Amino acid sequence: MLEFQVLLFYKFVPIIDPELFRKQQLTLCHQLGIIGGRIIISAEGINGTLEGKKQSIQKYIKIMKKDERFCDVAFKVSHSDGSAFPYIIDPITKKTRPKLSIKVRSELVTTDIEGHQKIGPITGKTGKYITAKELHNWIHNSNKEFYIVDMRNDYEYEVGHFKNSVLLKNFKNFRDLPKLLPQLETLKNKTLVTVCTGGIRCEKASGILLDNGFNHVYQLKDGIIKYMERYPNEDFLGKLYVFDQRITIGFNLGDDKHQVVGKCRLCQNNTENLVDYYLRDEQNKILPGRSYGLVCPTCIQQKKVALDTEVINESTLNPA
């Protein structure tokens, strides 16, 4: 049986010609047989998630490390079954294949902040790095006062998070962060540790905090995934949301220490079932406004919500 891997990586580094680099990356992925994935390229670097056979992924890493711009990248690898990305019909061969998207964008992480180029590791306006080992020591072997602030969306937090971590209310999209900062006002002079999936959002988030008067800001180096890999089921509870078809991943899930922390948004029973859904009114009519979050199979079976497959056109729904 073929072994597949999913590769997660990023690097903030000046890219002189993003479009040329995009073409080079596309050619490289095709040559190596990378079967699917998503890469964002901008003038400030690269952010990628790729899937392929183990040998293909390892060759990609080896080639990238030969480029001095990426020789120090922390490439994070996890196992997959070869179906982490959706299948599309190839316009040339007319055969189905996993989708491989490589695009040029103005930002690696969308902030929509005017002057966003001034925030991030290239300019030095970013939080201090704290490794998984150091954070583990802070949690278990020190009396240091600090607060872990989750920089992910609400549905990501719901399915898994650090114990006692802070989640900003109504955090639906990363670009919402600046307007949500008043929620952290009482922590401005406290020590904060920002966390996210692989680390890239914290490169910007910690810089935004610093730019708004927060004085002691750290970021978890290499992200939650690295902490989970090193300390499975210890301080990060539940599963980690990932932006591919696997939806969530975990380590040592059969261990007795693994906890299901997610709760159904309707009945509050434990679940890890993430879905797109529409609410229903008292007459059981479907209301407009799609949401994404945890809904248990029982509530779905009892028709407390409607799934995408039940909704053809949102404009035909019953108005709220």
Active site residues: 196
> What secondary structure does DSSP assign to 258-315, as a single string?
-----B-TTT--B---EEEEEEB-TT-PBPS--EEEE--HHHHHTTSEEEGGG-S-GG
User: Rounded distance, CA 97 to CA 29, Å?
Assistant: 14
Looking at the DSSP assignment, which residues form a beta bridge with residue 88?
97
Distance CA 48, CA 63 (A): 15
Coil vs helix vs strand at 12: strand
User: Residue 127 carries which DSSP code?
Assistant: P
How far, in whole angstroms, is CA 15 from its chain's centroid?
23
Angle between helices 18-32 and 54-66 (to 10 degrees): 140
In contact, 21 and 44? CB cutoff 8 Å = no
What is the CB neighbour count within 10 angstroms for residue 290? 15
Measure the CA–CA gap between 149 and 167, rounded to whole angstroms.
6
**Strand-strand pairing, 4-12 and 36-42:** unpaired
Q: How far is 265 from 77, CA to CA, in rounded Å? A: 32
